[in-house]
Structure 1
């Protein structure tokens, strides 16, 4: 079978790896429009902060292992009758099954003074590695930065640039930050935390235009004010990249409409990742994209023809230097009991909603040792402990779940890595099989290769295993 994957981002590269790992009789061709090896897009803000280098972002390479990877190649058309894709260098590649992993593109808002198709050098839409390079090139000689957009990616970019010593201001049109995930109280605490970290916020005001000259960017606001800076970073959301699918006549709404097997309206074409719309939703998160890649690989290789994609409730994490945030479900509305705790002076906020002994939503901001347990309860739908305040305040939870520093008490089924769905038992099994370092365990299990938020937990489990008597480690 000839399988062609269009897109070499986090979804496309994972599918190539999943297909290669199953070793079935198929030929895989991957076409990536970016001229780079596959990289972890989630780590772009860490690169902005100067905490890692570009090689640290690279994902496992499968080129030359039965997979033909072609980077810097765009696909300009799909001929469904001939089962061919056309590339921008004039090639035609036949497929038996085509997988669209075209991702999403940054939204550039309509602002007077700039052309979205030709942004000035000091105005950058933050989405790709090349965008990150452009930001860093300007930031080397810059003193001040404006970030337009106070969502997850915008705040990560702002924190990363502030970590470089730049004067950063976030402009956001809504009344509080990350309004899709946070309530106003949490947004206010987050804004205070950012202020202490060197990031100012301008809320409830929109941008109307941009004036650009050789030395300065001036952002005009709808309240009549003008903010000046050396660099303007646009982080105003993303839009699924569906142009290729639409031109091919596939059913497209917000994304490429797919069923539980990730098949589009053409059964010979699948879609995964940011460009896919399953059950009316597009996610934009890495964990669903990787889960979708696994299902497609299982179906195409025959490993499990009955495999179906069953989305799990999304968990949003913002984990930057000085910020630890987890948000899930909807803690603001619905039936059940609600618990809230706020300590703005310490940058701490927690809100939980519990219905029929199950956690239906939560916001945890600041240093809360129970965040892993809360995520686990939400993800698995397990019963909450009798002492709800333990979850709210981060106190020890007995045997229900363990604090981060007590892996011995953590149930084997606890999901340590949400992005890759890696439970504690898989890490223990890997250690028993001979892995003795964090890097070895990460390479074998993929834990920590997504958002990186679980890396400390993985290291803690490896340290516990290394120090414990092998007899004492449950088998």
Structure 2
């Protein structure tokens, strides 16, 4: 008899795990996947492009239903899991459906945070996390609408750019003194702000939301300094929290996320977690790359290979209004380190290296990010960069064109 493997969640982390598991050991497990959304796994990275009309929903899809069928995977969509019965090895789907399991993988992602301020429950206050959110935002973003996006992190910028592409009057509010403060220093964040404004997004920094007001739906947003901004639509993008309620109710150990070891195993030896819901060595990740690395490690472990996930060196790579941006490692120099800078605001170019003892600790690039892969590898390995400073700062020289042979 095959062991029964149930995967709760059908997002990007879940699909990557299933792909790697079926590649390594096709047919090893009797696999059932349960997803709360009505669609099979799709590319969340493209949500801002979908919002802005650059791609359609079909372009966001990963695998058709035939892929699951071909690999012997039962896929249940539009069905939230309501309970995990660890004692009897059962998963309750909805009110009536029961799935037995021998091994269970939790890939249930995270939940968007709403500010604890008045008016957050008014119609017209939306989040930006999934296809349903995109549909709701597009429906509200009618002609002449005034939209406000709260949050100057990665998702907030993407939401604002998407709305601006629709021709909506868009204002981005951020409570900090610069955009993407966790990934960018002031100079790089200033270039990103200029790029946003060039696309028609009004950016207000140090803007603390006090309340959202309206009679029956959103009409205005009030800042803590008393400024009143008219609004027909407010998109909340102030962060996420790991989705841990299901695990907590089942008595699985949690902190910020579901606590896992290097094999992605929870406090119950039969139950694993990966992606945004998992907490590994005290760290919760909200990016795709760590989720994929976790999926790789877990798939190897479940087919009997030696595997350990030891953590991910975080990096960010994106385009803001067509402006390439890359950040990795430490963005400010610690004591004893040095900073190497190259800046040309007129061309929208900026490069910053944080270096200590000829080792690269961090990098911030804006405008030209061609060396991002090299930087990530140097930060990850700690290899010496003594002979590569110029190449990292100015780019590797192009190979000379081949010369024709003499007759």
Same fold (TM over 0.5): yes
Match of 2:204 in 1: 202
Match of 1:255 in 2: 257
Task: Give the equivalent residue in structure 2 for 1:50.
Answer: 53
1:383 is aligned to 384
Length-normalised TM-score, structure 2? 0.92
> Is the Cα–Cα contact under 8 Å of residues 16 and 28 in structure 1 kept in the other structure?
no
Judging changes above 3 Å, is the alpha-carbon distance between structure 1 residues 368 and 307 closer, same or farther for their aligned structure 2 residues?
Answer: closer
User: What secondary structure does 1:277 align onto?
Assistant: strand
User: Which deviates more from structure 2 when the two are superposed, residues 371-380 or residues 75-84?
Assistant: 371-380
Structure with higher RCO (Cα < 8 A, 6+ apart) = 2
Match of 1:73 among 74, 79, 88: 79
Q: Which residue of 1 is the match for residue 274 of structure 2? A: 272
Deviation for aligned residue 1:216:
5.7
Would the aligned equivalents of 1:351 and 1:363 in 2 still touch at CA under 8 Å?
yes
Distance 2:136 2:166 in 1: 15
Partner of 2:88: 82
Q: Please state if 1:36 is matched with 2:47.
A: no
CA contact (8 A) 2:113 2:239 kept: yes
The residue correspondences of 1:108-127 to structure 2 (distance < 5 A) are 108-115=114-121, 119-120=122-123, 122-127=124-129
Note the residue ranges of structure 1 that are not aligned, 5 or more in a row.
410-475
Kept after mapping to 2: 8 A contact 1:73/1:89: no
What RMSD, in angstroms, separates the aligned Cα atoms of the two structures?
2.0
Q: How does 1:345-424 map to 2 (within 5 A)?
A: 345-384=346-385, 386=387, 388-392=389-393, 394-395=394-395, 397-398=396-397
Q: Deviations over 1:54-108 (max 9, x none)?
A: 0111112432121001001111111111011111131111100001001001001
- CA drift of 1:310 comes to 2.3
C-alpha distance after superposition, 1:93-126 (max 9, x if no partner): 11000010010010011121232xxx41x22111
Match for residue 235 of structure 1?
A: 237
Q: Which runs of 5+ in 2 are unaligned?
A: 402-407
- C-alpha separation between the residues in 2 aligned to 1:9 and 1:296? 16
Secondary structure of 1:63's partner? helix
Give the stretch that moved more between structures: 209-218 or 105-114: 209-218
List per-residue Cα deviations over 1:271-316 (Å, max 9, x = no partner).
00000000100111111111111211111122x1x21112231111
Q: Does the Cα contact within 8 Å between 2:326 and 2:369 map onto a contact in 1?
A: no
Give the distance between the partners of 2:301 and 2:185, measured in 1 at CA.
40
| 2:404 paired residue number | none
- Equivalent residue pairs, number: 394
Match of 1:324 in 2: 324
1:184-210 Cα shifts (integer Å, max 9, x gaps):
222222212211121121111210111
Separation of aligned partners in 1, 2:26 and 2:388: 49
Taking the TM superposition and a 5 Å limit, the aligned residue runs for 1:438-457 are none
Query: Are 2:30 and 1:27 aligned?
Result: yes
**Are residues 144 and 369 of structure 1, via their aligned partners in 2, closer, same or farther at CA, if it must alter by over 3 Å?**
same
2:172–2:204 Cα contact (<8 Å) kept: yes
Rounded Cα–Cα distance in structure 2 between residues aligned with 1:142 and 1:82: 56
Q: Distance in 2 between matches of 1:383 and 1:165?
A: 48
Hey, what does 1:148 align to over in structure 2? 150
Deviations 1:309-332 (CA, angstroms, capped at 9, x unpaired)? 122311111224422111111131
CA distance, structure 1, for counterparts of residue 27 and residue 73 of structure 2: 12
Determine if contact 2:82/2:246 at 8 Å carries over to the other structure: yes
- Residues 20, 67 of structure 1: 8 Å contact kept: no
Q: TM-score, normalised by structure 1?
A: 0.79
Query: In terms of mean alpha carbon deviation, does 153-162 or 253-262 score higher?
Result: 153-162
Describe the SS at the equivalent of 1:353: strand
Q: SS where residue 177 of structure 2 aligns?
A: coil
CA contact (8 A) 2:218 2:234 kept: no
Cα distance in 1, alignment partners of residues 19 and 371 from structure 2: 34
Structure 2 CA distance for aligned equivalents of residues 247 and 129 of structure 1? 28
**TM superposition shift of 1:354:** 1.2
Aligned pair in 2 of structure 1 residues 352, 93: CA closer, same or farther (>3 Å)? Answer: same
Q: Is the 8 A contact 2:329 2:361 kept in 1?
A: yes
Distance 1:298 1:372 in 2: 25
Deviations 1:332-381 (A, max 9, x none): 13232211223333322221111222211111112344334333433443
Q: Hey, what's the Cα distance between the residues in 1 that align with 2:316 and 2:388? A: 25
